[in-house]
Amino acid sequence: MSKFQTAIITALVALPLGVFAGGALKGHPNMQAANKALDVAWTKITAAQVANEFDLGGHAAKAKDAIKVAQDELKLAAETANEKKPTK
């Protein structure tokens, strides 16, 4: 498989995870900005994996796992904040 094919497949598989947290983060601009930064980090790590033919000793994959955890926590934080907002 060529590097280009690997890059395309990786990009499709590594669709920025933040897309799924978008609804919960609405109305929380700081958490949205943090989530966007995590999306960028995910994309850069994926690019590094492709450039190094995924030979990064598993550390890049662990970093991506940590990003997923961080994005999940942002979503939970936003949901908690939304539950505590007074209704009109």
**In the chain, how many domains are there?**
1
What are 2-48's pLDDT values in tens digits? 666 665 665 555 555 445 556 889 999 999 999 999 999 999 999 99
Other CB atoms closer than 10 Å to residue 39's CB: what's the count?
19
Residue with tokens 């007074």: 86
Check: pTM over 0.85? Answer yes or no: no
* Closest-CA residue to 74 (of 46, 33, 16): 33
Phi, psi of 87 (to 5 degrees): -85, 150
Which residues form the domain of 47? 3-84
What are 58-86's pLDDT values in tens digits? 999 999 999 999 999 999 999 999 998 77
